[in-house]
Amino acid sequence: MHLIRCLFSLLLLSGLSVANALADTDSVNPYVESVKHKAAQLKLSEDDIWQRLLHYRQDYFSETGVSSYVDDKRFFYADDGHYNAESELQKTIDALFIKDDLGNEHAQCRFVYRYQWLSQKLELDPKKLPVTNCVDYIEWREQVNAHSVSLIFPATALNSPSSMFGHTLLRFDPKDIEGGSDWLSYALNFGANINNDDDSVSFAFRGLAGGYPGVYNMMRYFEKIKEYNRMENRDIWEYKLNYTPEEVDLILTHVWELKDINFDYYFFDENCAFRLLELLELVRPEVNLTARFKLDAIPTNTVRAVVEEGLVESTHFRPSELAELHARIDSLPKSIQRLGKELSNDIDVMQQPEFKALDQAQQGEVVQIAYSYLRYVQLQIPRDDEMAKRSYQLLLALNKLSSEKVVVERPAAPETGHKTITAGVSAGERNDDLFQQVNYRVTYHDLLDNEKGYLRGAQIILFNTEVRHYNDDGLKFNRFDLVDITSLSKRNMFLKPLSWKVQVGYERVYSRNDEVGVLQLNGGAGHSYEVTKNIEMFGLLTGRIEHNKRFNSILEPAIGAEAGMLYYSPIGTQKLDISGAQFLNDDYRMRAEFAQNINLGVDHALRLSLAQEWHNDDDFFDISLGYRYYF
Amino acid sequence: MKRVLLAASLMTASLSASAVAPGGDSCGWGNLLFEGQSGLPSHVIASITNGTSGNATFGMTSGTNGCSANGTLTYGGKSMINMSSIMGEFSEDVARGHGDALTTVAVALNIKAEDRAVFDSVLHENFAVIFPSENVTAEDAMASVLKVMKADARLSKYAA
Q: How would you classify residue A282: left for phi > 0, otherwise alpha for psi between -120 and 50, otherwise beta?
A: alpha
Q: Chain A contact for B76, CB < 8 A? A: no
Residue A279 CA to residue A275 CA, distance in Å, equals 7
Q: Chain A contact for B20, CB < 8 A? A: no
Residue A212's φ and ψ, nearest 5 degrees, are: -100, 135
CATH classification for the domain delimited by A417-630, as one of 2.40.160.40, 3.40.1830.10, 2.60.40.10, 3.30.450.20: 2.40.160.40
Burial of A545 (0-12, 13-18, 19+ CB in 10 A): middle
Q: Say how many residues make up chain B.
A: 160
Q: Chain B contact for A208, CB < 8 A? A: no
Q: What is the pLDDT of residues A55-88, one digit of tens each?
A: 998 888 888 888 888 888 899 999 999 999 999 9
User: What average pLDDT does chain A have?
Assistant: 88
| Yes or no, beta carbons of B48 and A162 under 8 Å apart | yes
Amino acid at B6: L
Q: What is the ipTM of this complex?
A: 0.81
Closest CA to B137 of B18, B45, B22, B28: B28
Which of B22, B50, B56 lies at the smallest CB-CB distance from A383? B22
Domain ranges of chain B: 2-12+79-158, 18-62
Residue to test with chain B: of A184, A203, A264, A379, most B Cβ within 10 A? A184
Q: What angle do CA A563, A569, A571 make, to 5 degrees?
A: 130
Q: Chain A contact for B96, CB < 8 A? A: yes
- Specify the pTM: 0.85
Q: Chain B contact for A382, CB < 8 A? A: yes
**What number is the average pLDDT over the span A114-136?**
92
| Yes or no, beta carbons of B31 and A383 under 8 Å apart | yes
pLDDT band for A223, please (50, 70, 90 cuts).
confident
- How far the first Cα of chain A sits from its last, in Å, is 44
Under 8 Å CB-to-CB from A458, ≥6 apart: which residues?
A156, A158, A445, A486, A487, A488
User: What average pLDDT does chain B have?
Assistant: 63
Question: Which residues of chain A neighbour B35 with C-beta distances below 8 Å?
Answer: 378, 382-383
Contact yes or no for A527/A491 (Cβ under 8 A): yes
| Yes or no, beta carbons of B33 and A232 under 8 Å apart | no
Q: Say how many residues make up chain A.
A: 631
- What residues does CATH 2.40.160.40 cover in chain A? 417-630
Residue A630 CA to residue A439 CA, distance in Å, equals 12
| Yes or no, beta carbons of A391 and B33 under 8 Å apart | yes
Q: Chain A contact for B81, CB < 8 A? A: yes
b/e sequence A513-542, b meaning 16+ C-beta within 10 Å: eeeebbebbbbbebbbebeeeeebbbebeb
pLDDT band for A325, please (50, 70, 90 cuts).
very high
Q: What is the pLDDT of residues A183-221, one digit of tens each?
A: 888 899 887 766 555 555 565 555 555 566 778 888 889
Q: How would you classify residue B50: left for phi > 0, otherwise alpha for psi between -120 and 50, otherwise beta?
A: left
Burial of A622 (0-12, 13-18, 19+ CB in 10 A): middle
Question: Which residues of chain A neighbour B33 with C-beta distances below 8 Å?
Answer: 388, 391
Residue to test with chain A: of B12, B18, B33, B34, most A Cβ within 10 A? B34
Q: What is the DSSP-derived secondary structure letter of residue A130?
A: P
SS3 per-residue string spanning A363-418 = HHHHHHHHHHHHHHHHHHCCCCHHHHHHHHHHHHHHHHHCCCCCCCCCCCCHHHCC
Which of A140, A378, A395 lies at the smallest CB-CB distance from B36? A378
Q: What angle do CA A157, A193, B27 make, to 5 degrees?
A: 75
Q: What is the DSSP-derived secondary structure letter of residue A421?
A: -
Question: What is the per-residue pLDDT for B37?
Answer: 41
Residue to test with chain B: of A2, A11, A162, most B Cβ within 10 A? A162
Q: Chain A contact for B30, CB < 8 A? A: yes
Question: Which residues of chain A neighbour B46 with C-beta distances below 8 Å?
Answer: 191, 194
Q: Chain B contact for A379, CB < 8 A? A: yes
Tell me: cis bond preceding A444? Omega within 30 of 0 counts.
yes
Q: Residues of chain B whose pLDDT is less than 50?
A: 1-57, 59-71, 74-78
Distance to chain B for A386, nearest Cα, Å? 10
Q: Chain A contact for B25, CB < 8 A? A: no
